[in-house]
Structure 1
Amino acid sequence: MKAAAIHQQGTPVAQNVRVVRDWPDPVPGPNDVLVRTEAAAMNHLDLWVGRGLPGFDFTYPRISGSDASGIVEAVGADVDTSWIGQRIVLNAAVPQPEPIRPDVAPAPPDIRMIGEHDPGCQAEYFTAPARNVLAIGDVDPVDGAAFALGHLTAWRMLHTRARLQPGMTILITGIGGGVALARLNIARHFGCEIIVTSRHQWKLDRARELGAHHAVLDDGEDWSKVVRGLTG
């Protein structure tokens, strides 16, 4: 198969670092699915993997990519064959029974990230545990790939950690990035009062179109005073 591989450590969008090359076809394990990639999105994690991360001994070349959708082409021996032919979106966070780094105390359960610890999805095919894919039917695969890790990250921030509840007021600074827009979508779903900030008026205008109630321009003044005025 062909893969967009990070050839050497550096910024992975540079031509001499990320290259399209031949790569061995992945083989699903007993609990995995084999997915033919329809769409794969870029994530800031791809930059970190390309540049290298403290505490991680990355080897190159490697395939990054944690956001993807595609069609299940084959399954492992212990996976229901009804998955074959279904369009899925990937959840790249794979829970682990044991810590990846015993010297660090993460909040349990520890995880391995497809595209970081394990080969990613920026290739013609990728594998993932069956528990880490979700059938999305006739959803546009590009929309599915764009939704994946950004919205899962935002969901963990707002729902799992912050325990967001209907009627709360939420401040989203720097609206415009993928996770920020995902937070806006989730807050709107919960019926929250949404305040956004940005240094760019066009991003604020778009955020209002997407459901933000208040848009504060960061023009170098103390925008926090405006936010305090909005929240009483």
Structure 2
Amino acid sequence: MAMRCAYVRTQSADDPLSGLVVGDLPDPGSPAEGWLPVDVRAAALNHHDLWSLRGVGLPSERLPMVLGTDAAGTLGDGTEVVVHAVIASSSWTGEETLDPRRTLLSELHPGTLAERVWVPARNVVPKAPELSWAEAACLPTAYLTAYRMLFDAADLRPGHTVLVQGAGGGVATAAIVLGRAAGLRVWVTSRSEAKRDRALEVGAHQAFPVGARMPEQVDAVLETVGEATWGHSLRSLRPGGTVAVAGATSGAMPPAELSRVFFRSLRIVGTTMGTREQLRDLQQLLVATGTRPLIDTVVPLAETGTALGRMASGEVSGKLVVDIVGESGPQR
């Protein structure tokens, strides 16, 4: 049986969108016992999709590969679910993010930008009925990563101050929204005045140019930029503070500054994605506070390429969501 989807046919580092196809592929069916199909209602886009089109993290021998890590949809009995994107290996029994053989959907197994996606039964989480399909689809990557950085890796509590480096990125925007909802004082940095202004609009308390001296030292820094901001992150921390690291877009090998780390008892905590239980708790935070993911645009599946082009150019403020069932056209 064929299904409509957005998939990688070829890869190009210079022109990634040239290898994107929106068309029909056979339904892959269950790859193993215990997997089940989810009929996708909405799926969110991530930079991971662009990396796959560029040939990063997705070997060419796995093509064609359906894109997408995030989705919300229904099971065969009509149960509304959110898809957890972290796929542990079949023999793994611990926390899925610690499995050295874990993958994300669209790396080894077909992704969520399709009418149907197959996942292990443990990878579906009941969708909170208060959330729309588009809102729920935003959660499994950027918002889950931000949630885990804030409340697990950095161990922040209401009233604490957090510095989010690189305002404007998907995880950074999610951290602003969630941090404000949880009663944190949220400060951000960006080279772009427009992105600083936008961060203030969506919930940041203060916004600064990259490298600026902070009014006071902070309890934690969320670091996804890496080399360009690393020294500033360490200087901005109070003694005993924490840097939660989930990415390094500007380079992964900054000076370690170990003397500062041990003299000031700083904690550096790496973190990747989140767990099924944290995805459930994230939904409950949104429901309890009335906060919702920031959505830039919802587009039909046919316009996936246009949306990814906007993402590649940095024009996006909030999540880009694909309406798989085609119930809504482009909207802002």
TM-score over 0.5 (shorter chain): yes
Find out whether 1:129 has 2:120 as its counterpart.
Answer: yes
Q: 5+ unaligned residues in a row in structure 2: which ranges?
A: 219-332
Residue range with higher mean Cα deviation, 4-13 or 191-200: 4-13
SS in 2 for 1:45: helix
SS in 1 for 2:117: strand
The aligned counterpart of 1:88 is 81
In the TM superposition, residue 152 of structure 1 has moved relative to its aligned partner by: 1.4
2: CA distance between counterparts of 1:183 and 1:13? 30
1:8 is aligned with what amino acid? T
Q: In the alignment, is the contact (CA less than 8 A) between 1:173 and 1:197 conserved in 2?
A: yes
2: CA distance between counterparts of 1:64 and 1:169? 36
2: CA distance between counterparts of 1:181 and 1:195? 12
Find out whether 1:145 has 2:148 as its counterpart.
Answer: no
1: CA distance between counterparts of 2:85 and 2:113? 13
In the TM superposition, residue 149 of structure 1 has moved relative to its aligned partner by: 1.0
Q: In the alignment, is the contact (CA less than 8 A) between 1:9 and 1:60 conserved in 2?
A: no
The aligned counterpart of 2:199 is 207
The aligned counterpart of 2:264 is none
Residue range with higher mean Cα deviation, 143-152 or 129-138: 129-138
How many residues were matched structurally?
A: 210
Offset from partner CA, 1:81-133 (integer Å, 9 cap, x none): xxx2022221100223668xxxxxxx733322112221101111111122212
Offset from partner CA, 1:174-210 (integer Å, 9 cap, x none): 2122111111133224322210122333433332233
SS in 2 for 1:163: coil
Q: In the alignment, is the contact (CA less than 8 A) between 2:62 and 2:108 conserved in 1?
A: no
2: CA distance between counterparts of 1:112 and 1:168? 33
1:87 is aligned with what amino acid? E
2:80 is aligned with what amino acid? R
Find out whether 1:231 has 2:221 as its counterpart.
Answer: no
Offset from partner CA, 1:122-178 (integer Å, 9 cap, x none): 111111122212222252111111222111112232333222233321111221221
1:170 is aligned, of 155, 162, 168, to 162
Percent of counterpart pairs with the same letter? Answer: 35
The aligned counterpart of 1:115 is 106
The aligned counterpart of 2:20 is 18
In the TM superposition, residue 14 of structure 1 has moved relative to its aligned partner by: 4.9
SS in 1 for 2:162: strand
SS in 1 for 2:157: coil
In the TM superposition, residue 11 of structure 1 has moved relative to its aligned partner by: 5.3
Find out whether 1:42 has 2:45 as its counterpart.
Answer: yes
The aligned counterpart of 1:4 is 6
2: CA distance between counterparts of 1:91 and 1:54? 19
Q: In the alignment, is the contact (CA less than 8 A) between 2:40 and 2:114 conserved in 1?
A: yes
Where does 1:180-191 land on structure 2 (aligned, <5 Å)?
A: 180-191=172-183
Could you say if the C-alpha distance between residues 62 and 12 of structure 1 is closer, same or farther in structure 2, counting changes exceeding 3 Å? farther
Could you say if the C-alpha distance between residues 183 and 191 of structure 1 is closer, same or farther in structure 2, counting changes exceeding 3 Å? same
Q: In the alignment, is the contact (CA less than 8 A) between 1:42 and 1:67 conserved in 2?
A: yes
1:198 is aligned with what amino acid? S
Q: In the alignment, is the contact (CA less than 8 A) between 2:7 and 2:20 conserved in 1?
A: yes
SS in 2 for 1:23: strand
Residue range with higher mean Cα deviation, 60-69 or 138-147: 138-147
Q: 5+ unaligned residues in a row in structure 1: which ranges?
A: 75-83, 100-106
2:29 is aligned, of 24, 27, 30, to 27
The aligned counterpart of 1:155 is 147
2: CA distance between counterparts of 1:11 and 1:68? 26
Q: In the alignment, is the contact (CA less than 8 A) between 1:34 and 1:128 conserved in 2?
A: yes
2:157 is aligned with what amino acid? Q
